[in-house]
Structure 1
Amino acid sequence: MPLYKNINPDLQTTVKIWKIEESYEELFQSVNLRPESLNRVLGMKSELHQRGFLSVRHLLAAFGYEDSDLFYDANGKPHLKDGKHISITHSFNFSAVIVSDKVIGIDIEKQRDKITIIAHKFIDYEFLYLNRDASNYIKKLTVIWCVKESLYKLYATPGLSFKKHCLVIPASDNEQETVAWINYKSKKSRYNIHFLEFEGFTCAYAIA
């Protein structure tokens, strides 16, 4: 089973990334799903989404959890029954789960040219330091998107805007850490950010 990466950013936090190489049938045969999850995966029209969903259940198992240990609140944020914090993501043939004693969020995205078309929808302050003519512009945009998506998952508050309320401090090309802020309804919160790139994908995770 292709556990692609195992990362321990601190003593309370673990990130596990899965490269989805198995077929739907292979992934399905070796997981135990509660009825709600079974109905959900069977109702998915895309096999890519089905495989992503099932790979996350394999990642849960790698942490020692089962599907029944996971539940979602009214805002769609996942939780674990033992009280630990969890965040989940998948994109194409990669998925990832982060588990921590701290509040966390994670996102994986494929680096694609079309992100330049929507950049104005999620970037404000960051345009001040981005170079649109640079060869790594798409990678930089993808990092910022992943960071803001991880913040959105961490904060889990309706009305939070990527563009208006989330701010990502620039990182040098050789760095994989930065700081981000959420400024929402007069409350400012600072978060430590880690990110990495692999096989044309970007993964970022935020830790409170």
Structure 2
Amino acid sequence: MAIAYRQQIDDDTEFALWKIEETADELYKQLKLDDTEKAYTKKLSKSKRYLHWLGTRVLLRKMLGTEEYIDAKVDSHGKPYLVSLPYHISLSHSFDYAAVMISKTRHVGIDIEQVKEKVERIAHKFMLPNELAFIEDKHKIQQLYVCWCAKEAVYKCYGQKEISFADNISLQPFTFQHHDVLQARLHKGHVNIDYEVGYLQYQDYMIGYVKG
């Protein structure tokens, strides 16, 4: 499967989606891995998580346009980074899709989620009362997923652990559209950062994406 969707954010920043229709072996053959990564993939073998891991790495290779080995690591906070290429990256996946965001100049964050009714049951865990108040009945499930994906994207962009979605990431009221932006703020201690978060409903998935 080729790239299913690709969006240029600015001259240095873009994200893309990959629909995972290949087998694990087909994806694996498109990668160049070191011994540590090969050992790691063996632990994941035959799981959906394995397909997701492979899918994000194949998509990353396509977006960077290289056939060479890509040295991708994660830092102590779990944030992925490239050792020898001048890009900030963020990775996500959900069911049949992998998502990757890259930028030469800015920290980035992306999240993709399949839209399901269950989000309503857990909304109170990641939303503040004033945020729940602006959710519209007409698009309740989609709007809640926008909020989740936006907060997850901000969390990934900031790249530090111990951030509470409810306590440390707040969203300004917005009206749901299928492709739009909203305003968010990360606040913890002396840290106050404003973000403009993009979101997109793609088929039955929601994507949130942001650059720092």
Give the shorter-chain TM-score range. Answer: over 0.9
Deviation at 1:114, TM superposition (A): 1.1
| 1:148 match | 151
TM, length-normalised to structure 2? 0.91
Structure 2: give runs of 5+ residues left out of the alignment: none
Structure 1 residue identity aligned to 2:71: D
Residue 79 of structure 1 deviates from its aligned partner by: 0.8
In structure 2, do the counterparts of structure 1 residues 85 and 137 end up closer, same or farther at CA, with 3 Å as the change threshold?
Answer: same
Q: TM-score, normalised by structure 1?
A: 0.92
Aligned partner of 1:128 in structure 2 is: 133
For residues 46 and 156 of structure 2, the distance between their equivalents in structure 1, rounded to whole angstroms, comes to: 23
2:134 is aligned with what amino acid?
Y
- Supply the AA of the counterpart residue of 2:97: F
- 1:25-104 mapped onto 2 (5 Å cutoff): 25-44=25-44, 47-62=47-62, 63-65=64-66, 68-81=70-83, 82-100=85-103, 101-104=105-108
Q: Provide the rounded CA distance (Å) in 2 between the counterparts of 1:187 and 1:118.
A: 27
Task: Measure the CA separation in 1 of the matches of 2:89 and 2:78.
Answer: 12
- Does residue 1:118 correspond to 2:122, yes or no? yes
Q: CA deviation at 1:23?
A: 1.4
- 1:76 maps to a residue whose letter is G
Q: Percent identity?
A: 30
SS at match of 1:21: coil
How far 1:69 moved relative to its partner?
2.4
CA contact (8 A) 1:2 1:21 kept: no
Report what 1:195 is aligned to. Answer: 199
Report if the CA contact (8 A) 1:34-1:68 is conserved: no
Unmatched segments (≥5 aa) in structure 1:
none
SS in 2 for 1:43: helix
Moved over 6 A (4+): none
- The one-letter code matched in structure 2 to 1:129 is F
| RMSD of equivalent CA atoms | 1.6
State the 1:46 CA deviation. Answer: 5.1
Q: Return the offset for 1:205.
A: 0.6
Structure 1 residue 171 displacement after superposition: 2.6
- Give the match's secondary structure for 2:200: strand
